[in-house]
Each structure stands twice: as C-alpha cells, then as structure tokens.
Structure 1
Amino acid sequence: MNLKNTLLFTSLVLVLISCTNDSTNDLTEPLDINQTVKFSSVQSIMQNNCNNCHGNPTSGGAPISLVTYNEVKAAVLESDLIGRMSIENGGDGLMPEGGPRLPQTTIDVVIKWQADGFQE
C-alpha cells in the first residue's frame, strides 16, 4: 500500500471511529479524482463497516460475503452494493443495516473503484 492509500485509509478510519454527526459535508476531504482507487482501499471500508455481518461466514442473516475482491466486485455489479450504501438514513435497505449511512466520501471511494475499472 503506498503512502497516499495509507493516508486515505487512516483518515477514513479516524473519521468513522470519531464522528457521530450524520452530516457528511465536513467529515473528510473530497476524493482525489486523479488517484486510482485500488481494492485495498475498498477492502478496508468493507472490513470496518460491513464484515461484521458480511464476513466469511456471514452472520445476522446477511446473504452474501464481502471479504474477497470477487465478492465485492460481484456485489457492486449484481447486488446494487453502492445503491444500498447510498440510501438515506432511515430508508429501507440501508447498509450498514440500521445505519447511520456512511459518509458520502466513503461511498465515493467505492464508486471511484468501479469507475476506475475495479483495480486490484
């Protein structure tokens, strides 16, 4: 993991651990559109927010695992993972289940990973 990815990951973790505000405007810096997002960045988001239920094995009734590259890519392409993450607080189907909704900048990492061609 290069220094930029490490800094991005550290920033995301600190924000997710320390913030309880549902406003996403002031949580993190906008994603650098010039940097390619690799799976390691998306994997850390899954580990910190999804794998309690969507681990291997799954728990709490989660239908799919979001641990490996292929699982997460398939969830984006076939199970509307980004759409489920993007539902507003209180909306049916919001992931993580029960909310709160992840900051938009965190969701943007997954969106950019897809736009960048699912880089490993």
Structure 2
Amino acid sequence: MRTILKFFSIAMVLLLSSCSSGGDSDPGSDPNPNPDPDPNPTPTTVTYTNTISLVISSNCISCHGSTPTNNAPISLNTYAKVKTAVESNGLIDRISLPQGNTNMMPKDGTRLPQATIDKFITWKNNGYVE
C-alpha cells in the first residue's frame, strides 16, 4: 500500500510541476511581452480629432475660443478655423518661434514641445485629416 501511495505522490508532483500558467505557448516565449503598455499611445495617424484638437483645447482656447479674448484675432474652436489658421494665418510659424519672441504662441506661455509642433506639421503634410 505504501508503494502505491509513494507512486501516486510522485506522479502528482510530476503532474503539478509540469503545469504552467503560459497555456499552449512555446517554451521560452513570453505570453505578455509588454506588461506595461503605454496607457496613452501615440496615434499612428495624426488627425484633427485624435491629436490637434487636444493641443488646441489645452493651449489655445483660453484666448482663441468661440469669442476670442486677450486681443486674439481669431477663433480656433473648430476644425475649419484651425485649418485656416495653419494655411493662412501662420499658426505653425507662430508656435515654432523661440521662447521669448513677442509673436510666439501661446502668448505669454511656454513654447510647445517640438514633438507637438511636429504633429501640426505632420497633420498639414498629410492633408489635414479630420
């Protein structure tokens, strides 16, 4: 009886030790190669909706709202108005000026990071995808 119990115990240990939480994956492969994915991944296509409008609402709308304030000459509250500002009002040039330039936007603020400015350039170069 003890022999059967030993055999059964060894078989159970072998059976349990051969199980893994990886399922049917290949040995050595990581079932979750990126355990901490970026919670805010950069979209592959820069569009007004997924990128540009967020920048505008965070940095420009306080002066360039539906009714411009603080001597802002234009509103930037719609896709069409932002597109026109890029095409006709030099928006990219204004946000690209160095910190301290009196014409830099956002006025009296901090220059946008170059990566953000590059998104505006990409949006323009890709045809102003909405």
Same fold? TM cut 0.5 = yes
Larger Rg: 2
- Verify: 1:110 aligned to 2:120, yes or no: yes
Contact 1:55 1:66 (8 Å CA) reproduced = yes
TM-score by structure 2 length?
0.66
Q: 1:7 deviation in Å?
A: 3.0
Counterpart code for 1:116: N
2:101 & 2:68 partners in 1: Cα distance? Answer: 23
Counterpart code for 1:37: V
RMSD in angstroms over aligned alpha carbons? Answer: 1.6
Render the CA deviation track for 1:79-120: whole Å, top value 9, x for unaligned: 000000000011120000012111001111111100110001
1:87 & 1:58 partners in 2: Cα distance? Answer: 22
- Verify: 1:101 aligned to 2:107, yes or no: no
What is the aligned partner in structure 2 of residue 15 from structure 1? none
* Pairing 1:19-58 to 2, within 5 Å after superposition: 35-40=44-49, 41-58=51-68
1:74 aligned to which of 81, 84, 93 = 84
Higher RCO (CA 8 Å, separation ≥ 6 residues): 1
1:48 & 1:69 partners in 2: Cα distance? Answer: 15
Question: How many pairs does the alignment contain?
Answer: 91
Counterpart code for 1:38: T
Render the CA deviation track for 1:21-41: whole Å, top value 9, x for unaligned: xxxxxxxxxxx8xx3211111
Runs of 4+ in structure 1 off by over 3 angstroms are none
Gaps of 5+ in 2: 1-37
Instruction: State the percentage of identical aligned residues.
Output: 41
2:73 & 2:106 partners in 1: Cα distance? Answer: 13
TM-score by structure 1 length?
0.71
